[in-house]
Structure 1
Amino acid sequence: MKPQVLIVGAGPTGLVLALGLQKQGIPFRIIDKNQGPGEASRAMAVHARTLEFYRQFGFVDEIVQLGIPVQQVQIYKDNKQRAKMNMGHIGKGLSPFPYVLSFPQDEHERILINQLKAKGIFVEWNTKLISFYQEENRVRVITTKQGNEEKHHYAYLCGCDGSHSSVRKGLGFDFAGGTYKQVFYVADVLSETPIDGLQLKLFKDGFGLIFPIRTTNSLRLIGLVPQALLDKKLEINFTEIVPYIKENLGVHTNKMNWFSTYKVHHRVSEYFRKGRIFIAGDAGHVHSPAGGQGMNTGIGDAINLSWKLATVLKGKAKEEILASYEEERIAFAKDLVATTDRMFSGIVGKGFSTKIIREVLIPYVVPKLTGVSSIRKALFKSVSQIRIHYRNSMLSAGRAGAIHGGDRLPWIYGQGVDNFKPLQTFDWQFHVYGEAKADLRELAKTTAIPLHEFPWTGSMREAGINPGSMFLIRPDGYVALADSGQDIKKIRSYLDELKVVQN
């Protein structure tokens, strides 16, 4: 079949977008100007919401098996341990994946690529987007593949091509924000220094993070390049920073597998869409590494966009729902950039407030707060991205108990119930917590929208769900419509308004 969507960029965002489209039977093409997958990966954290999406796709077990759940975070000040935070199962009862998973981005990308290969889909490497022109019903595109020019047209074009996105630039979108003056380094090394869990090292001139990697004696090191080295030359090599790492991180390196330096930006595109053209991931937003949110946010963009494109292309909803992609994702991106900017500036800035944060709050106050159950849950919800909601979206309506249209469906598990299991079909579905009424059963049959009934349990009330509540669930696991009384008129009205159909 002729590709209906062109994806530009085969990083995590583009690859997940491709998997989302494939899951729903949409033909597409994915290209990347590079020779192959990236090797200098910076992202390490894979959060619960991303793992929940991967469970829907059916390959989460492989990711979890290869990664390392972060069981504890040790905080050091001047090479003395000041605190140890227990992070294992911090989100118990909130998600099937109640932890942060440490997993290098390069290995992560290879699994996504292999998932596509297993379905007979291959990334077209060495293929560059040259230009595009949008018409009423299609997008004309010129690409070069190994030096040969090609002309094609597609129903939609998606730019997942990073912070220097040619798609965003071609659309003329402003990319407001700035660049931090600090230079980061990232390295994979072999070391016999024993590291248990994630370590944060704070010291006078900066900070460093140490992640254990699954490979024996392999560590990922991330930190700030000392200004003294930058004053001497613009670019440094690993040998020059080894003494600094040994002194401040306490790590003795036996071998360096790879090393890179980079600067961090904090920017958000003014728009995420223009007509039939969309941008996602770093093409639309870049921010500091605080909280490990960047890659996970791009994956969230991809999931959100993939089901909406597929729904429209398959005639299961009106085209107007595509406007909800920018509406839902740009608000979160702006909030995230502002939040991570404050966090990052508080750690690396100058002045009295930074001193308090680095010398008091992080090593002493924060660890004590994370020992409080309610604060642990709030922290997990925020970092894991399960707190993201779209209550103000054009697709969100109603309320049932504490659950609003636009909320992520709460996870209910136990007593033979796992309400996330049906989400693996990645389609619209009705959920009833209690017993479904006869007219709702009939509506489910006539619309061919699957109906899932879950016998009432006390855990549902704890999650804020009232007995008998009905939720119309979007393919991405968010609540579209919530109603405590299973009001058939409200449900029909919602479906008619968006022209949502399954058959």
Structure 2
Amino acid sequence: MNRQDVFIAGAGPTGLVLALWLARQGVGVRIVDKTAGPGTTSRAVVVHARTLELYRQLGLAEEVVAAGMPNPGINLWVHGKRRAHISFGDAGAGFTPYPFLLVYPQDRHERLLIAHLEDMGVQVERETELLGFEQHDDHVQVRLRGPQGEESCEARYLAGCDGARSPVRHGLNAGFEGGTYDQLFYVADVIAAGPPADGQVHLSLDDADFLALFSYAADGQARLIGSIREDRVSPDRELGFEDVGERALHGLGVEVKKVNWFSTYKVHHRLTEHFRHGRVFLLGDAAHIHSPAGGQGMNTGIGDAINLAWKLKAVLRGEADQRLLDSFDSERLAFAHKLVETTDRVFSFVSAEGNFANFVRTRIAPLFVSAAYSVGAVKEFMFRLVSQCMLNYHGSALSHGSVGKVKGGDRLPWAAGAAIDNFGPTGTVDWQVQVYGDASDALSAWCHHTGLPLRVFDWERAHEHAGLTRNAVYLVRPDGYVGFADAGGKVEALRDYFKEIGYRRFA
């Protein structure tokens, strides 16, 4: 009988990242996908700053950035003129090591993740379909059909990373409430020329014709995402790029030299009621799908995977009890609810039809964006929101304490300009204690005794500017969020925190 710690159904970015983080922590994984190979087309093109920060833990960030196209800003076009410009560099330079929007198509992204997974000795099993599963007290029994026929295997846990039509979700009889937008959209991989082919993101808001251009190479390679007008849609024939409205293309000033591939799709907004069902978890599109507004989908699935990976490892190794896995459901479900609501509002505004909607979108919105983005606080807020750096877990059972501006559940602030980068990878995916200033002898001794990594930074003005407090203790989770913040830094307070969350390793 084939037994694994974690069985992963689905080898898109969510499943691949989950497998990578688990394998890096020494957890046995098996990952299968019903496709014959990695994707060759995709809608997802954006990798946000928070994802890159998390990738840095495994030494992936710089490779991903080098392979993609860092976009320094977004431009809004109306009636053939650039009406507003949003600069990411200005907004995020003091907030994250990655103050840009990285355009990196999902198909290329997947191939990079697969290569790193193979380096760890894990192969994606292709043309292998999950037929069903049964939960037991201490394992999940999984039935598969692959190239060699049907088989059965056991895993301690099952992760459904198998997309919007998730067989794992259907096997749970879990709901997937939501709806479908009326508009038909297209995605095309093209060779583009013209002013917009300049390495930035360009959005055209001409009336009801929506168009977005994402450059991902210096030679004009770009991804187009746009709407197709209803009068072009016919049930009698398959749509092609010639059915794309030319008004938005001309208004953006883009010339399409070549179309490498083209596909149409409907946009959905759906959310399941729970991400954890006993020993079975739902992640990524299997748990939540939403509009492409803000390029949040793939990044959210990757966030799901990293949130779950370190918790699974702790429970599998007997370091923590089941309450830690319950926090995956509460933390990621709360974020997904906010995300679906936010992207739904933005998408409804962008795609709304009618004279009044057109007037607001083409006349009012560009003026509002330009005015608002000239205010420093608004500019930073917008960057934090879109980049997912604003995501926090304040309501989580794992979030305790506060010191100055930092609360338990916050993303650890990045200290820009500090002599030593407090986001620098430690080489392991583990908890750590950070102190900016002086750590007490008692804290140092306890961390050494328990094996809890302690990082002490000489106090600098950059730390104060980031909102950190001198000599305070910040207990940082393996995913870079503050679990516990304490001004006193007493060992008893840290020990009590671990006892309260059921984490035996340091209690």
Q: Same fold (TM over 0.5)?
A: yes
Cα distance change of structure 1 residues 352 and 191 upon mapping to structure 2, 3 Å threshold:
closer
- Amino acid in the other structure paired with 1:15: L
Check whether the contact 2:418–2:462 (CA below 8 A) recurs between aligned residues: no
Cα distance change of structure 1 residues 499 and 200 upon mapping to structure 2, 3 Å threshold:
closer
The residue number in structure 2 matching 1:129 is 130
The residue number in structure 1 matching 2:460 is 457
The 5 A counterparts of 1:248-327 are: 248-327=251-330
The 5 A counterparts of 1:35-184 are: 35-146=36-147, 148-184=149-185
The residue number in structure 2 matching 1:435 is 438
Q: CA deviation at 1:245?
A: 6.0
- Amino acid in the other structure paired with 1:67: G
Q: Distance in 2 between matches of 1:34 and 1:322?
A: 30
Q: Which stretch has the larger CA shift, 65-74 or 335-344? A: 65-74
Structure 2 residue 500 is matched with structure 1 residue 499: no
Q: Distance in 1 between matches of 2:360 and 2:281?
A: 39
Q: CA deviation at 1:85?
A: 3.0
Cα distance change of structure 1 residues 382 and 282 upon mapping to structure 2, 3 Å threshold:
same
Q: CA deviation at 1:226?
A: 1.5
Q: CA deviation at 1:111?
A: 0.7
The residue number in structure 1 matching 2:16 is 15
The two structures have a TM-score, normalised by structure 1, of 0.96
Q: CA deviation at 1:216?
A: 1.1
The residue number in structure 1 matching 2:419 is 416
**Candidates 198, 214, 217, aligned match of 1:214:** 217
Q: CA deviation at 1:500?
A: 3.9
The residue number in structure 1 matching 2:405 is 402
Q: CA deviation at 1:479?
A: 0.9
Check whether the contact 2:81–2:252 (CA below 8 A) recurs between aligned residues: no
Cα distance change of structure 1 residues 20 and 220 upon mapping to structure 2, 3 Å threshold:
same
Q: Distance in 2 between matches of 1:347 and 1:413?
A: 35
Check whether the contact 2:59–2:425 (CA below 8 A) recurs between aligned residues: no
- Amino acid in the other structure paired with 2:308: L
- Amino acid in the other structure paired with 1:14: G
The residue number in structure 2 matching 1:364 is 367
Secondary structure in structure 2 of the residue aligned to 1:339? helix
Q: CA deviation at 1:294?
A: 0.7
Check whether the contact 1:163–1:284 (CA below 8 A) recurs between aligned residues: yes
Q: Give the paired residue count.
A: 503
Cα distance change of structure 1 residues 457 and 135 upon mapping to structure 2, 3 Å threshold:
same
Q: CA deviation at 1:314?
A: 1.4
The residue number in structure 1 matching 2:192 is 191
The residue number in structure 1 matching 2:28 is 27
The residue number in structure 1 matching 2:349 is 346
Q: Distance in 2 between matches of 1:32 and 1:247?
A: 41
Secondary structure in structure 2 of the residue aligned to 1:407? coil
- Amino acid in the other structure paired with 2:294: G
State percent identity of aligned pairs. Answer: 45
Cα distance change of structure 1 residues 77 and 86 upon mapping to structure 2, 3 Å threshold:
same
Q: Distance in 2 between matches of 1:68 and 1:474?
A: 30
Q: Distance in 1 between matches of 2:497 and 2:250?
A: 62
Cα distance change of structure 1 residues 422 and 58 upon mapping to structure 2, 3 Å threshold:
closer
Q: Distance in 2 between matches of 1:243 and 1:350?
A: 18
Q: Distance in 2 between matches of 1:428 and 1:312?
A: 14
The two structures have a TM-score, normalised by structure 2, of 0.95
Secondary structure in structure 2 of the residue aligned to 1:421? coil
Q: Which stretch has the larger CA shift, 242-251 or 407-416? A: 242-251
Deviations 1:211-232 (A, max 9, x none): 1121512221110011111156
- Amino acid in the other structure paired with 1:251: V
Secondary structure in structure 1 of the residue aligned to 2:125? coil
Q: Distance in 2 between matches of 1:465 and 1:243?
A: 52
The residue number in structure 1 matching 2:244 is 241
Q: Distance in 1 between matches of 2:184 and 2:460?
A: 52
The residue number in structure 2 matching 1:229 is 232
Q: Distance in 1 between matches of 2:342 and 2:236?
A: 32
Q: Which stretch has the larger CA shift, 397-406 or 455-464? A: 455-464
Structure 2 residue 391 is matched with structure 1 residue 388: yes
Check whether the contact 1:127–1:143 (CA below 8 A) recurs between aligned residues: yes
Secondary structure in structure 1 of the residue aligned to 2:310? helix
Q: Which stretch has the larger CA shift, 314-323 or 192-201? A: 192-201
Q: Distance in 2 between matches of 1:417 and 1:80?
A: 44
Cα distance change of structure 1 residues 133 and 353 upon mapping to structure 2, 3 Å threshold:
farther
Check whether the contact 2:77–2:252 (CA below 8 A) recurs between aligned residues: no
Q: Which stretch has the larger CA shift, 52-61 or 192-201? A: 192-201
Check whether the contact 1:433–1:468 (CA below 8 A) recurs between aligned residues: yes
Q: Distance in 1 between matches of 2:400 and 2:411?
A: 13
Cα distance change of structure 1 residues 431 and 500 upon mapping to structure 2, 3 Å threshold:
farther
Q: CA deviation at 1:489?
A: 1.7
- Amino acid in the other structure paired with 2:369: V
- Amino acid in the other structure paired with 1:475: P
Q: CA deviation at 1:61?
A: 1.1
Q: Distance in 2 between matches of 1:249 and 1:233?
A: 30
Q: Distance in 2 between matches of 1:451 and 1:361?
A: 51
Deviations 1:79-110 (A, max 9, x none): 22223333335201111111111111111111
Gaps of 5+ in 1: none
- Amino acid in the other structure paired with 1:269: T
Moved over 6 A (4+): none
Secondary structure in structure 2 of the residue aligned to 1:163? coil
Cα distance change of structure 1 residues 204 and 499 upon mapping to structure 2, 3 Å threshold:
closer
Q: Distance in 2 between matches of 1:459 and 1:216?
A: 39
Gaps of 5+ in 2: none
Secondary structure in structure 1 of the residue aligned to 2:39? coil
Cα distance change of structure 1 residues 232 and 154 upon mapping to structure 2, 3 Å threshold:
closer
Deviations 1:171-230 (A, max 9, x none): 111101100011110101123334222111121232101111215122211100111111
Q: Distance in 2 between matches of 1:218 and 1:365?
A: 31
- Amino acid in the other structure paired with 1:69: P
Check whether the contact 1:346–1:357 (CA below 8 A) recurs between aligned residues: no
Superposed CA RMSD: 1.8
Cα distance change of structure 1 residues 299 and 447 upon mapping to structure 2, 3 Å threshold:
same
Q: CA deviation at 1:496?
A: 2.6
- Amino acid in the other structure paired with 1:64: V
